[in-house]
Amino acid sequence: MIKKIDEALRTIKDRVGFTPDIAVVLGSGLGALADAIENPIVIPYEEIPHWPMSTAPGHAGRLVAGSFCGKSVVAMQGRLHFYEGYQMDQVVFPVRVFGRWGIPYFVASNASGGIGYGLVPGDMVLIHDHINLMGTNPLIGPNLSELGERFPDMSYAYDRDLLDIAEEVSRDKGITTRRGVYVAFTGPSYETPAEIRMARTLGADVVGMSTVPEVIVARQAGMKVFAVSCVANYAAGMTASALSEQEVLDEMGKAAGKLTALVGGVIEKLEM
């Protein structure tokens, strides 16, 4: 695995030429943030050795590096999902590359279903914890010490200082946010109403099909993590309406501006 990671990283470094301050993963329909990156260097995933292709709708499948809000960044314009048929080590391969690159910060965004009764489509939830119901963990298997310790602590997987910064930015920019717990299922089918009731009982506020494996690997690599979830729809059983992929993409298109402002504000305040 180390050989594959280093081959991918060597190709990226030959094109980019600098070590970014922040790695960003953009979720379904949220790729517009990459358009705000200045002096962009764009690398399609198919040009990176061993880098899996993104097949989900709303994921462009490009790596974009450049300057954003005064910091150097590399953004995944489209992530990889377990439900696409990839093995978990493939899903988290990009994050392992970022960790190997020595990038100190990892920022993730996603589209989610709102479980909490006070959440409505378009709301921004600052993830402060997660529940892994994907039935697996990306660290299962032989441990490679070069990638991090065998048993990484997950007590504060989502950096408390970054959460405080995000709330400060939210107030300054007039963006309504709340902290919440993200629960991850494998998908690709949406959850049943019974599963949503279970998740609510467990303490979850939003539900999705990503992010958790990436965060686990980012923390193993020693990266500081910030994650924001954009509520795309009410979770199953909360309304009489059926859930649809197009609804998610449409709502995320509306939320892209708020996400860019929020993430940009957080990045701007980071001390490197």
Which residues are annotated as part of the binding site for phosphate? 28, 59, 79-81, 111, 210
Q: Is there a cis peptide before residue 188, judged by omega within 30 degrees of 0?
A: yes
What's 53-83 look like in SS3? CCCCCCCCCEEEEEEECCEEEEEEECCCCHH
C-alpha pair distances (Å), 230 with each of 35, 81, 93, 140, 223: 18, 17, 24, 29, 22
CA gap 220, 146 in Å, rounded:
10
Which residues line the annotated binding site?
A: 28, 59, 79-81, 111, 191, 210, 233
β 105-114/206-208 pair status: antiparallel
Query: Measured between alpha carbons, how far is 272 from 267 in angstroms, rounded to an integer?
Result: 10
Amino acid at 130: H
Q: Which residues contact 150 (CB under 8 A, 6 or more apart)?
A: 139, 143
Tell me the binding residues for a purine D-ribonucleoside.
191, 233
Residue partners of 116: CB distance under 8 A and separation at least 6: 180, 200, 205, 206
Q: How far is CA 253 from the centre of its chain?
A: 17
Are the C-beta atoms of 77 and 26 separated by less than 8 Å? Answer: yes
